[in-house]
Amino acid sequence: MSVAMSLLALLDESPNYGLQLRNLFEERTGGVWPLNVGQVYTTLARLERDGFVRRRPSDADEKLYEMLPAGRRRLREWFATPTRKDAPERDALVLKLVLALGRSDLDAADVIQAERKAAVELLQQYTKLKRDGTEHDLGWLFLLDSLIFQAEARVRWLDMCEERLTRTQQPKSNRKPSRPRERIEVKS
């Protein structure tokens, strides 16, 4: 979905080839989200099938894609519609901490600290990229800030878990939920 919309946005700037589109995408996102060429071509084929883009017929090279009016409408609609996260994704770290609680062979606080350290190291790396980056490349800064805030949120959540853990000095068996809680739908 976001790949399709990114390709539409790039094609809206100018007609282009699959490989070039891949390179442009990685350039704009600083290579943080690598994209393989195969994925680009399958997505282009789908966009073509849906009537959003076409291969330029007059061109000798069949692989030059260009935007169609329907694609332009779809793109505008995408920009105008708030991005929704319908269901929380299954998160390996959350699962790990939840499962660590019931165990007698390890201390959940140690798991929290190891994860926090890793998250802060990741933050240090992102921040280094930001320090080295030019102030003027706004798109790049948007992307880095987004990654930074996500990692920060993770650390704050870990801090909160630790805080709860130290305040709940109960025997381990009491930590397990005594009744099933309201179900939250989770994407697999």
Residue whose CB is less far from another protein, 5 or 147: 147
Q: φ and ψ at 9, to 5 degrees?
A: -60, -40
Residue whose CB is less far from another protein, 47 or 100: 100
Task: Provide the minimum distance between the beta carbon of 161 and another protein in the complex, in angstroms, as a whole number.
Answer: 12
Task: Provide the minimum distance between the beta carbon of 28 and another protein in the complex, in angstroms, as a whole number.
Answer: 14
Residues within the interface to another protein (CB under 8 A): 30-32, 34, 113, 116-117, 119-129, 131-132, 148-149, 151-152, 155-156, 159, 162-163
Residue whose CB is less far from another protein, 73 or 164: 164
Task: Provide the minimum distance between the beta carbon of 8 and another protein in the complex, in angstroms, as a whole number.
Answer: 23
Task: Provide the minimum distance between the beta carbon of 129 and another protein in the complex, in angstroms, as a whole number.
Answer: 5
Q: To 5 degrees, how large is the angle CA 42–CA 45–CA 50?
A: 130
Taking a C-beta distance cutoff of 8 angstroms, is the pair 111, 97 a contact?
A: yes
**Closest-CA residue to 98 (of 18, 29, 14, 184):** 184
DSSP state of 187: B
- Beta strands 65-67 and 53-55 are antiparallel
